[in-house]
Structure 1
């Protein structure tokens, strides 16, 4: 499902940092992360983050990101 979990975690940390600060760079960070998330389940969950980021709804994106990370953690064991 995910290519490199430690690297992905660091990139998700960066996305979260940008979202917390309501920074436009979150859009580019999300786009970089899209290549790391493979279909089907993770990609579907990740798409909800992207929709909020693209709509500049950073608080909503942050909430979706936290749900996504919680799901990753529960799947990872």
Structure 2
């Protein structure tokens, strides 16, 4: 009985988790657009009024991306794992 397994499923699962996390980051900014349209505001107002939210999004996106890349570098070294 072969107890070694490919770590590919774990990598795919972590990719899905990271994709969901990155998607959830943008949701607060998406809520701004309908409000702006209802107020008949200009596009630049969406940026200037939410500048810190945008910076927070970009910083969070960069941090999660960096961890994701580092995760892939670690798992490039893993060839198999056993049940224990």
> Is TM (by shorter chain) over 0.5?
no
- TM-score (normalised: structure 2): 0.36
- TM-score (normalised: structure 1): 0.38
Name which one, 1 or 2, has greater alpha-carbon Rg. 2
Structure with larger RCO (C-alpha < 8 A, sep 6+): 2
